[in-house]
Chain A
Amino acid sequence: MFIAAVGVACASGVGDERVLAQPADFDFPSLPQFALRRVGRVPPFDPERFVTQRKSLKRMNRASLLAVAAARQLALPDGGSEAGLFLGVGMSGGEIALLAGLLDTSRHPDGTLDLAAMGREGLAHLHPLLSFHVLNNMPLCHVSIELGIGGPHAAIHAPGGEALQAFARGAEAVASGEAPWALSGGADAPLNTLTLALTDEDLDRPLAEGAAVALLSDRGAIEWLGLSEHRPQSIDAARAEVLEGEPSRWIAIGPALAGRGAIPLHQRVGETLAASGALAVALAVHLLRSDPAAATVGICAQDALGTSVAALRRAG
């Protein structure tokens, strides 16, 4: 299975995989809630460039917008109504501004919630489009609607490298004939008040928003070799399931691979949570296209449960 093209929206910019050659700016100064942090925000862009109808922007949360922006970079073949769509999604939806009116009218003086007041007055202050912003599968729905993708699909919860599963599933769908081609990727947008508050205690790297979406088909310049999903297992055991020998380059999601010279993904794009696996694939595609010494790239995602490894190579 092949990756024909990749679209990216991350702290380095919006475009194809080449934007990953540009350094990301993690010192984003202008939002007061980020004053104590280094964060990775997608550089300003005109969202209307990426949607078919301006009014649909009102229903899009940030992760959905980034997913649509990334997917719009791709020139899609015909047959979208049967094509597959597989995205890693996070749990960062919901700007607190959508709830501010409800919460302000539903708090006791001591700050605790007054449910009677919420029912009596608060609901009238609730943002009417709240549900469109908080449901986690919204990036999947918006990409489907904006790009006319109607075939097999999945929104895979992907707090770490699990968006790689979206590529494995997309490759299966095309290989089996379930879909003529597929989009696989991931998106997350954690730079909102609640996620910042929830993650305040334990992040040692810049929290960042991002998305990447790839076109998988039976032809292309980059070959997707597979994903080892069995856990727990060693890096070498996982690598051996998808690639003979060491890859030319390693990309690490999460902890760096000691002694293997891996590129830590978060140094390039920040901690992008559910978008990590997809941005790692985009970075792999960039390396395979731009670095003559990179013939194969391994992506390693490690978490408390074990290791998974994906591999790609330049097609002959």
Chain B
Amino acid sequence: MRVAITGEATWTPDGIAPIRRFDASRFPVRFAAEIEAPGTVAMGLLVVREALGEVDRLRAAHDPARIGVFFGVEPERVAAGDWARVQGERRAATQQDRAPRFAGLLPEGAYRRRSPSRLTDAVADLCGARGPRRTLAMACVSSAAAIAQAYLAIARGEITAAIAGGAAQNVEPLLFAGFCLLGAMSPSGECRPFDGARDGFVLGDAAGALVLEAESAVHSGQIRGRLLGAGQSLDAYRMTDPEPEGRGAAEAIRAALTDASLDPRDIALVKAHATGTQKNDQVEARVIDALLPHRPPVMAVKGAIGHSIAASGVVEAIAALEALRRGFAPGIAGLTHPDPSLPPLFLAPASAEPRTIRGGVALCNTFGFGGINCALLLGAP
């Protein structure tokens, strides 16, 4: 069953700026790509409404039991202030030699409110979907994996339509502190994918959604793009580093090509994961160079909108789809001097002339902490 993309929407930050959401003035990193929004559920619902156009559209065209909802979302972070209250009670109990009393310390229902499946359920309720609901909590790969699962469910005939995407509001003190400690974020506040001076990513917020339908159920005028294949793999290597030769990443790309019955030379555009960290960009460049020697243009968007973790897969896939439709690859924000130690890819800074895309297939890479890899193949309408 061929899978058509019939709707899409993103909510991305205006750019990278000093953090406004909390006082980061004493943190070693002070920049982020923020969106002012009342949480991930609101962000997710907004993009779903926009992607659908009319919320009843899918229900009118499909059996509701065959409409699925697949979202990549992380649990709502426990507010740093709540952690502080719990720790305060823990310390007081120790000093007073008593058991801690947590009852009433945190807002009622706080555990349930953290659940990422709230967004999946809310989307299903909004559009009347009664088919499978899956919430993928897979860090950076979450929403790409959600798209892959939705694609597979339609391609195998399990369902005929799906809404897939992700939403993330990441810029909060404790997550930020954890990434500061890992040294993965750019102290300069500039994400420079594949640049010789790259020094990490910039954390961001974002949301995105795709409407996917069995191509046999739509008319050609509705098709905004196609999902041609998906591949997933695990490095099974180390928690801290990607496998140096990129074997896991390469396997995900090969699996997607096999799934789509395509040849590597069919790939006309690569949307790289490109976090702007030393090791990740090095491994990804090696994989792209080895698998795609015909050197299709490579685009990367984290230099413009930051790294939205769970939402990055979907918003970046939509950027790649738009590039396919326009027929040219945008330059890479943050890139000024490509790292000469990396294999030679077809890169271009944002200031360069747009590169023409010669073909209709885009490879979208999404890789995650702990060695999780997902490759999606998108087709032009």
**Considering the complex, which residues of chain A in the window 89-105 have a beta carbon less than 8 Å from any beta carbon of chain B?**
89, 91, 96, 99-100, 102-104
The smallest C-beta distance from B181 to any residue of chain A, in angstroms, reads 6
A172 within 8 A of B: yes
Q: Mark B114-146, 1 if CB is under 8 A from A, else 0.
A: 111100010000000011111111110000010
Contacting pair A198 B110 (CB below 8 A): yes
Asked if A157 contacts B177 (CB within 8 A), the reply is: no
- Closest-by-CB residue of A relative to B259 is A178
Cβ A154 vs Cβ B138 within 8 A: yes
How far does the alpha carbon of A136 sit from the alpha carbon of B74 in the complex, in Å?
A: 8
Q: Are A231 and B130 in contact (CB under 8 A)?
A: yes
Contact with A198, one of B73, B106, B251 (Cβ below 8 angstroms): B106
Chain B residue nearest to A169 (CB atoms) is B149
- A118 and B173 form a contact (CB under 8 A): yes
Bound-state Cα–Cα, A268 to B234, Å: 34
Contact with B along A231-244 (1 / 0, CB 8 A): 11100000000000
Give the interface size bracket for A toward B.
35 or more
Q: Name the CB-closest residue of A to B30.
A: A119
CB atoms of B371 and A131 under 8 A apart: no
A199 and B181 within 8 A (CB): no
Closest B residue to A196 by beta carbon equals: B102
B135 cross-chain contacts in A, Cβ below 8 A:
156-157, 162
C-alpha spacing A119/B19, complex, angstroms? 13
Q: Please indicate the chain B residues that have their CB under 8 angstroms from the CB of A204 in the complex.
A: none
Q: Is the CB of B156 within 8 A of A194?
A: no
Given the interface pairs A100-B87, A159-B115, A194-B86, the reply to whether A305 lies near B121 with Cβ below 8 Å is yes
How does the 8 Å CB contact mask read for B69-109 relative to A, with 1 for contact and 0 for none? 00001110010110111111111010000011011111011
Partner of B90, one of A85, A96, A117, A232: A96
Q: Which of A104, A116, A137, A142 contacts B139 (CB 8 A)?
A: A137
Which residue of chain A has the shortest Cβ distance to B232 in the bound complex?
A152
Question: Is A131 touching B134 in the complex (CB atoms < 8 A)?
Answer: no
Q: Write out the residue numbers on chain B whose beta carbons fall within 8 Å of the beta carbon of A144.
A: 234-236, 370-371
Closest B residue by C-beta to A138: B370
Q: Flag whether B28 is at the interface (Cβ < 8 A).
A: yes
| Residues of B contacting A131 in the complex (Cβ-Cβ under 8 angstroms) | 178-179, 181-182, 369
Residues B239 and A56 in contact, CB atoms below 8 Å apart: yes
Assess the A230–B131 pair: CB atoms within 8 A. yes
Pick from B132, B177, B233, B372: contact of A229, CB below 8 A.
B132
Q: A140 on the interface (CB 8 Å rule)?
A: yes
* In the complex, chain A residues whose CB is within 8 Å of the CB of B81: 112-113
Residues in chain A near residue B372, CB distance under 8 A = 137, 140-141, 153
Q: List 8 A-B contacts (CB under 8 A).
A: A32-B99, A59-B240, A115-B24, A123-B28, A135-B369, A142-B239, A230-B131, A230-B132
Given contacts A103-B83, A106-B84, A150-B233, 5 further A-B contacts (CB under 8 A): A89-B137, A115-B80, A141-B234, A145-B236, A230-B65
Interface residues of B (CB under 8 A from A): 22-28, 65, 73-75, 78, 80-81, 83-91, 93, 99-100, 102-106, 108-112, 114-117, 121, 130-139, 145, 149, 152, 156, 158, 173-174, 177-182, 232-240, 248, 251, 255, 368-372
3 smallest beta-carbon distances between A and B, as pairs: A119-B26, A141-B370, A197-B102
Binding site for B on A (CB under 8 A): 32-33, 35-36, 56, 59, 80-81, 85, 89, 91, 96, 99-100, 102-104, 106-107, 111-113, 115-120, 122-123, 126, 128, 130-132, 134-138, 140-142, 144-145, 147-157, 159, 162, 165, 169, 172, 176, 193-202, 229-233, 305
